[in-house]
Amino acid sequence: MTIPLTLIEDAIGWRRQLHAQPELGYQEVHTSRMVAEQLRRFGLQVHVGLAGTGVVGTLENGPGPIIGLRADMDALPITELGEPIHKSTTPGVMHACGHDGHTAILLATAQRLSETRRFKGTVHFVFQPAEENLGGARKMVEEGLFTLFPMDEIYGLHNWPGLPVGHVAVNSGAMMASLDAFEITLNGKSCHAAMPENGADPVVTAAELILALQTIPSRRLSPLASAVVSITQINGGEAINVIPEQVTLRGTVRCLQDEVRSKVRTLIDDFVATLPVPFGVEGSIVWYPGYPVTANHLQPALNVRDAASGIYAAENVHWEVNPSMASEDFACMLEACAGAYFWIGADGTTPSQPLHNAHYDFNDALIEQGIKIWCQLIEQRMPVSQ
């Protein structure tokens, strides 16, 4: 499959424009406008405003399957430390996860398919806001994504540092972990730090609780289960000579199986309720459910593998790789519609910086690869001869 050089150059230009003007979740006003304008230029039907700044472009080409392709559009609240010529012009905000590249790839795919039309059916190009922790996928679903735009399948890709350009990885099941956040409050009794016997120390209790929670993955779950429990914030106290009244802990849980996710939450609840009691401290917890496991459906995952195998050598198509314990809100779309999520290699001659790193920059060399696999998937799933 050959992609015109002019289209690749245009896509690189779009990508760098988006990188220079990053926008946080639900604030993708410029990005949304630019995407909608380009889709209209390609002759697609365009729907704007889903989940605030979401955009859906529709390309119809006769009767046939209805397939969705999704790209995320939002940036991260990170100050860019690299020095590309297209460096972020927005202080404290940058595209550190490659959503600028995903958006450019999908736009270029929409243009290419609108020109070639070597498929029969309908393609919905879904440009999603607020993937980073804000649940834009869930909001699009709640606001009627699959009601307004019924789909037989939906697919999403993500650039993947650690995998070379020209490689693809996909699983028949879990690709990414679930995400839940929590806030634990420990209420004790304040007193002079020199007289701890007169109070109930939530700081010591917090230290014991943090260590106890780490026994959940190591001692309360099977070694074959996958779970991470991380405390990421501790807040409490105002003076060095006062034991505080309250300490707050915040953290996250990541799991690869739904039953493990449920068990871990129950165990954390039990620890928070019971461990503080001997210290004279009361514990409570508030959960902030995030994303389910990003679990592929078998046939769509096989469709991705088959499409990739039509472009790359067999050794470059990786099937049943180790899932990531990071999370992805495309999981919410996969709960509502059959589909698959896959990784496309990002490492060139120089390995890519990690995702969410202040020096990260999307590797433009994989834009052509992304367009190819999207086009191959559509043309293979929706052949003209059907």
Q: What is the distance between the alpha carbons of residues 97 and 358, in angstroms, rounded to a whole number?
A: 10
- pTM over 0.75? The answer is yes
Q: How many CB atoms lie within 10 A of CB 187?
A: 15
Residue 97, annotated as binding a ligand: yes
Q: Which pLDDT value is given to residue 1?
A: 78
Q: What is the model's pLDDT at position 134?
A: 87
Residue indicated by tokens 């999307």: 362
Nearest to 163 by CA among 346, 352, 375: 346
| 86 in the same domain as 40 | yes
Looking at the structure, tell me whether residues 215 and 243 fall in a common domain. Answer: yes
* CA–CA separation, 235 and 248 (whole Å): 5
Report which secondary-structure segment, H or E, holds 177.
Answer: strand 174-177
How far separated are the first and last CA of the chain, in Å rounded?
21
What is the per-residue pLDDT for 279?
A: 97
Please state the three-class secondary structure of 125-175 as a single string. EEEECCCCCCCHHHHHHHCCHHHHCCCCEEEEEEEEEEEECCCEEECCCEE
Q: Can you tell me the mean pLDDT for 80-96?
A: 97
70 and 129 in a common domain = yes
276: domain CATH number?
Answer: 3.30.70.360
Q: Which residues pair with 176 in a beta bridge?
A: 294, 324
- The yes-or-no verdict on residue 377 having pLDDT over 90 is yes
Q: Which one of 272, 291, 310 terminates a domain?
A: 291
Question: Is 80 exceeded by the pLDDT of residue 89?
Answer: yes
Burial code (b: 16+ CB inside 10 Å, e: under 16) for 30-51 equals ebbebbbebbeebebebbbebb
Are residues 363 and 374 part of one domain?
yes
* Last residue within a domain, chosen from 255, 274, 291: 291
The pLDDT-based confidence of 375 (bands split at 50, 70, 90) is very high
If asked whether residues 281 and 339 sit together in one domain, one would say no
Q: Domain boundary residue among 260, 291, 322?
A: 291
Residue 205 has pLDDT above 90, yes or no: yes
C-alpha closest to that of 190 among 251, 239, 152: 239
Would you state the pLDDT for residue 143? 97
Residues 28 and 149 in one domain: yes
Please tell me whether residues 286 and 305 are part of one structural domain: no
In angstroms, rounded to a whole number, what is the distance separating the alpha carbons of residues 213 and 206? 10
Rg over alpha carbons for the chain, rounded to the nearest Å, is 23
By the 8 A CB rule, do 237 and 158 touch? no
DSSP reduced 3-state for 316: helix
- Counting every residue, how long is the chain? 386
CA distance 221 to 259: 11
Q: Is the pLDDT of residue 118 over 90?
A: yes
Residue 385 has pLDDT above 80, yes or no: no
132 is in an annotated binding site: yes
How wide is the angle at C-alpha 295 spanned by C-alphas 298 and 272, nearest 5°? Answer: 150
Q: Hey, which residues does 60 pair with through a beta bridge?
A: 122
Q: How many domains does the chain have?
A: 2
Percent of the chain surpassing pLDDT 70: 100
Could you tell me if 20 and 136 lie in one domain? yes
19 is in an annotated binding site: no
User: What's the pLDDT at 103?
Assistant: 98
d(C-alpha 65, C-alpha 62), whole Å? 10
Q: Do 29 and 165 share a domain, yes or no?
A: yes
Is pLDDT at 178 greater than 80 in this prediction? yes
Statement to judge: residues 305 and 348 lie in one domain:
yes
Q: Are residues 160 and 203 in the same domain?
A: no
pLDDT at 144 over 80: yes
Please compute the mean of the pLDDT values over residues 189-207 and round it to a whole number. Answer: 97
- Bridge partner list, 254: 228
Percent of the chain topping pLDDT 90? 96
Secondary structure (DSSP) of 82-125: S--TT---STT-B--SSHHHHHHHHHHHHHHHHHH--S-EEEEE
Contacts of 218 (CB under 8 A, 6+ apart): none
Mean pLDDT within 7-17: 97
143 annotated among ligand-binding-site residues = no
Clarify whether residues 286 and 189 are in a common domain. yes
Is the confidence at residue 28, as pLDDT, over 80?
yes
Domain span holding position 228: 178-291
Phi, psi of 195 (to 5 degrees): -130, 60
User: For all residues of the chain together, what is the average pLDDT?
Assistant: 96
Which tens digit of pLDDT belongs to each residue from 39-53?
999 999 999 999 999
What pLDDT is stored for residue 386 in this prediction? 54
Q: Does 375 belong to an annotated binding site?
A: no
CA distance 151 to 128: 16
Whether residue 139 is predicted with pLDDT greater than 90 in this model: the reply is: yes
CATH code, domain carrying 72: 3.40.630.10
Tens digits of residue pLDDT in 145-166 = 999 999 999 999 999 999 999 9
pLDDT for 290 beyond 90: no
